[in-house]
Amino acid sequence: MPSITFTDDDSQDLDHQQNDPMVITVEIENYAVKKVLVDQGSSVDILYWATY
């Protein structure tokens, strides 16, 4: 597996004084789903009922 590195280029568009959570957009079964929280503290993957 190639090495994974993060450089300043990865954060150039950011407002630097931030503690924002990692929120991304993914495609689930052909739906673009926004507001997806990446949470390494969670032991399960959760789909909220309101979204389901």
Partner 1 sequence: MVPYDEPIYGFSGEQVSTRGYTNLHTVFRDGPQTKTVPIRFLIVDAPTSYNVLLGRPSLNTLGAVVSTPHLAMKFPSPSGDILTIHCDQRLAHECYMASLHPQLPIQQTNHIERPPGSGIALSGEDLDPKVGRDVRLEPVEETTLLELLNGHSITLGTGLNSDERAIITPVLVGNTDLFAWSAVDLPGVDPLVASHKLSIYKEACYISQKKRKFGEERRLAAKAEADKLLSVGFIEEAHYTTWLSNIVLVKKANGKWQMCVDYADLNKACPRDAYPLPNIADLLTAWRETKSSIFLTHIPVTIKSPWPHPT
Tell me 28's DSSP state: E
Reduced to 3 states (helix: H, G, I; strand: E, B; else coil), residue 15 is coil
Q: By the 8 A CB rule, do 37 and 48 touch?
A: no
Size of the site for partner 1 (CB under 8 A): 44
Q: Is 50 a residue that touches partner 1 (CB under 8 A)?
A: yes
> Phi then psi for 8, rounded to 5 degrees?
-60, -25
- Our finding on whether 45 is near partner 1 (CB under 8 A) is yes
Binding to partner 1, residues 22-41 (CB under 8 A): 22-41
- Sites of contact with partner 1 (CB under 8 A): 1-2, 4, 6, 10-11, 13-15, 18-52
